[in-house]
Chains A and B, each alone.
Chain A
């Protein structure tokens, strides 16, 4: 079938997965949805200890088996040691055909590639994959399908039973012997455990892994003892310097600052920028700079933020500390300042489901006025691609992109027009990961384009005369005029992954990349000219 963003989704994929093609953002609105709970083993025996000696014992006690699904969270980001530690044990125990259901996978997990190659891991469900795993999937090394779903989509899949986790491994900076988990107080603090809360609620077995055992009760718990079967103490769960880094130094890259300025100009000249507005932004240099520009204008005009949400940084938390924002809602901390800022009583942890699950009774993203996002590619239909590189290789993650873009009244995507020679604004994105109907404004270093579906925004910006307005086609044409139109990247027929829309429909598929011989050798034999001498 051809879905609502014009992508061909082969019927066999719909059959195998039991899914429908993407029908548009509000397809599931107001439709009945049934939630499904886990099958658990109650602990009534007050003599029973939850402590296990090692991961292997936990695996045995949780009835690990071939074909099982194990889950992980990514709060430890590039400093994560849990995934590799658990998978190494699973690999050594000889289990096969494992599905990994992670909130995200990154470069830290490159050691999983051999396990993909030998059939230990045959399916991956994640918000995306960076690093070598992405390449392996694109090269067709994963036997089953990779499923990419957003943070909100993952919660949806677990609560509806569409995805089922046999054993969840929840890394926790601190735990007591009965499984009360907190994101702080340990050696490798990540602040919050928001992405793992749904695993606690919906996995059959939950194993807490910590490197900092504290006396009972570890309260207030971010994940409760009532969810945890076993607690395993290990030497190290993560590398602190790679989990929550020091706050990023303000960028001096003029291109990013230019885009940040345009972005701020868009925000302050659209109707939702008034006292009590809500805002989410990212961790990139342009996003952080734009938050700082925004703060200046908020002070000038005495406008306060009602709430900020998302993965948080120093720049956002500063607004809270300065009394410029009323509340911060936190699903992830990108720097130590954000972790420390959790002490502020108006800085609240929220579960990923509250943040972004499309199929609950209204997630926080629905209340967003502005979200500032990035993208690898945006096409002339405003479709975004944040997962597959322009070269066809899986290289990124959906994260909360589709969730916040749909939820926010004004979704702004910042991306430089050209990434090296690659045009970020193009005729058709390599893979659609966020539908164009969710995207309202695209900010580039060459100008700003407004989705024609949003005449209100276009009118406001035209009136304010604050940014160089271009149509999205104009931006694409500028890009192509500078770098030339790219050749279409060639793929094999085999589908290696699907991109789920928030509601579980299929928005696009990812195909296996075609091998090319590199370097290309171009030989041109020229007949020897007749010699005159």
Chain B
């Protein structure tokens, strides 16, 4: 999946996270800012990178500002930002790349 523009999803409310995806030339870079980084930093990175892998995002710069989001929210926000960044509009492959 080729990121063609910068896109954002999510908010900075408690239990949410804000994900920004920008086009990049080579590889994937994820920045995480989280109040729970010491306890859940690794887990959040894992969920985010697995989600991006599933979506087939290979080149992007991803910034996550986390406010204590659960895994399901992190996935949802990463997916939404990525889909917006590729200007996806139409049927979503629920249960396929989205799961």
Chains A and B share a contact (CB less than 8 Å): yes
- Interchain CB contact under 8 A, B38 and A490: yes
Q: A482-B70, A518-B33, A520-B45 are in contact. Are A421 and B40 (CB under 8 A)?
A: yes
Cβ of B49 and Cβ of A524 under 8 Å apart?
yes
Asked whether any CB of chain B lies closer than 8 Å to the CB of A522, the reply is: yes
Residues of A contacting B42 in the complex (Cβ-Cβ under 8 angstroms): 487
What chain A residues lie within 8 Å of B41 (beta carbons)? 487, 516, 520
Any B CB within 8 A of the CB of A486: yes
B1 at the interface (CB under 8 A from A): no
Does residue B88 face the partner (Cβ distance < 8 Å to A)? no
Establish whether residues B27 and A523, one from each chain, have CB atoms under 8 Å apart when the complex forms: yes
Bound: A484/B68 CA distance, A: 12
**A487→B40 contact, CB < 8 A:** yes
How distant is the Cα of A390 from the Cα of B40 in the complex, in angstroms?
11
**Which B residues lie within 8 Å of A490 (CB)?**
38
Please determine whether B26 and A521 come into contact, CB atoms closer than 8 angstroms: no
Which residues of A357-414 have CB atoms within 8 Å of chain B's CB atoms?
Answer: 390-392
Q: What interface size band does chain A fall in?
A: 20 to 34
Chain B proximity mask over A494-533: 1 for CB below 8 Å, otherwise 0: 0000000000000000000000101111111110110000
**A421 in complex: contacting residue of B27, B29, B31, B36, CB < 8 Å:** B36
Once the chains are docked, how many angstroms separate the CA of A523 from the CA of B37?
17
Option from A391, A419, A526 in Cβ contact (under 8 Å) with B28: A526
B93 within 8 A of A: no
Say whether A422 faces chain B, with CB atoms less than 8 Å apart.
Answer: yes
* Number of B interface residues in the complex (CB < 8 A): 28
A489 at the interface (CB under 8 A from B): yes
Which residues of B (1-42) have their CB < 8 Å from a CB of A?
14-15, 26-33, 35-42
Do residues B38 and A391 form an inter-chain contact, with CB atoms below 8 A?
yes
Separation of A390 and B68 alpha carbons in the complex (Å) = 13
Residues of B within 8 A of A420 (CB): 14-15, 35-36, 67-68
A486 and B27 contacting across the interface, CB-CB below 8 Å:
no
Given contacts A484-B43, A528-B26, contact A520 B37 (CB under 8 A): yes
Interface contact B35-A391, CB-CB below 8 Å: yes
Q: How far is the CB of A266 from chain B (nearest CB, A)?
A: 28
**Which of B36, B43, B49, B71 has the most chain A CB atoms closer than 10 A to its own CB?**
B36
A483 near B45 with CB under 8 A, answer no
Q: Are A391's CB and B39's CB within 8 A?
A: yes
Task: Decide: B27 and A522 in contact? CB cutoff 8 A.
Answer: no
A524 to B29, CA, bound (A): 6
Residue among A419, A483, A489, A525 with most chain B CB within 10 A: A483
Given contacts A421-B69, A522-B45, contact A391 B29 (CB under 8 A): no
Contact of B70 among A392, A483, A521, A522 (CB under 8 A): A483
Asked if A489 and B15 make an inter-chain contact with CB atoms under 8 angstroms apart, the answer reads: no
Query: Which residues from A are CB-within-8-Å of B70?
Result: 421, 482-483
A168 to B11, CA, bound (A): 49
B interface residues, Cβ below 8 angstroms from A: 14-15, 26-33, 35-43, 45, 49, 58-59, 67-71
22 A-B contact pairs sorted by A residue (CB < 8 Å) = A391-B35, A391-B39, A392-B38, A419-B68, A420-B68, A421-B15, A421-B40, A421-B70, A482-B70, A484-B40, A484-B71, A489-B38, A516-B41, A518-B33, A519-B31, A520-B41, A520-B45, A521-B30, A522-B29, A524-B30, A525-B27, A526-B59
User: A-side interface residues toward B, CB under 8 Å?
Assistant: 390-392, 419-422, 482-484, 486-487, 489-490, 516, 518-526, 528-529
9 A-B pairs closest in CB distance: A420-B68, A486-B39, A421-B68, A525-B27, A519-B33, A519-B31, A522-B30, A489-B38, A524-B28
